[in-house]
Amino acid sequence: MWREIKLLAASKPVIASMSDVAASGGYYIAMAADKIIAENLTLTGSIGVVTGKLNLGKLYEKVGFNKEIISRGRYAELLAADQRPLRPDEAELFAKSAQNIYQQFRDKAALSRSMPVEKMEEVAQGRVWTGNDASSRGLVDAIGGFSQAVAIAKQKANIPQDRQAIVAELSRPSPTLPEIISGIGNSVAEVDRTLKGLLQDLTFSNGVQARMDGILFQRLEEASYANPILTFLKDYLGSI
């Protein structure tokens, strides 16, 4: 995404306006813009990496759960083996991977902000700054809100400041009431079709159906994906 924004910025002005939080991934995207505008208290930076894995060994032991893994390759079960801690060589691999990703993040930040890597290292290391602090350290270009970002975009695009800008929001819209009702109707219709098909299969099946609940559960398992009603019915049958 950083690369795509950089390519876009080569053909037209790209201004990043940061509001409440623009840390880690948020700053990673913003730093590819031509200019970064932050508010006074915008949480900014967090140029760092967090990684690791769960160790559920004691939990598994407590609930009587046993997990066995068949793998091939020294690090094949690195993330799958959550029943044990990391081996020393695995921990070393994790640390090297995190350091490599961090260096890429830091170096891209330095390139984007036209800053020596050594200077960027001083303000990186996963630390978070307010907008004011980030501005004094070269992580953002100006303090202001969205309207100032629009004004800077107009200036860079040679658009008169008195011309009204059309703002297009690309966030996913919330579903309308007819769409919600339609979705419920489709779910109910799917439940009806699934149960009718199941009953028909059971009616014309040969032999003794010794485990009706198991057959029903299996069919619901196959049909419940992305259908909340079938998922609820499957979970209910599994609990009784």
Active site positions, annotated: 24
Buried/exposed 52-86: b ≥16 CB within 10 Å, e otherwise:
eeeeeeeeeeeeeeeeeeeeeeeeeebeebbbeeb
**Distance from chain centroid for Cα 189:** 32
Q: In this structure, what is the dihedral angle of CA atoms 154, 159, 163, 167, given to the nearest 10 degrees?
A: -50
The residues that bridge with 44 in the sheet, in sequence order, are 22, 129
Using H for helix, E for strand and C for coil, what is the string for 11-38? CCCCEEEECCEEECHHHHHHCCCCEEEE
Query: Please, which residues have CB within 8 angstroms of residue 223's CB and are 6 or more apart in sequence?
Result: 190, 194, 230
Report H helices in the chain: 2-9, 25-30, 57-63, 88-112, 117-123, 131-136, 146-156, 177-203, 212-223, 228-239
Please, what is the Cα angle at 109 between 103 and 110, to 5 degrees?
A: 90
For residue 139, give both structure tokens: 């992580």
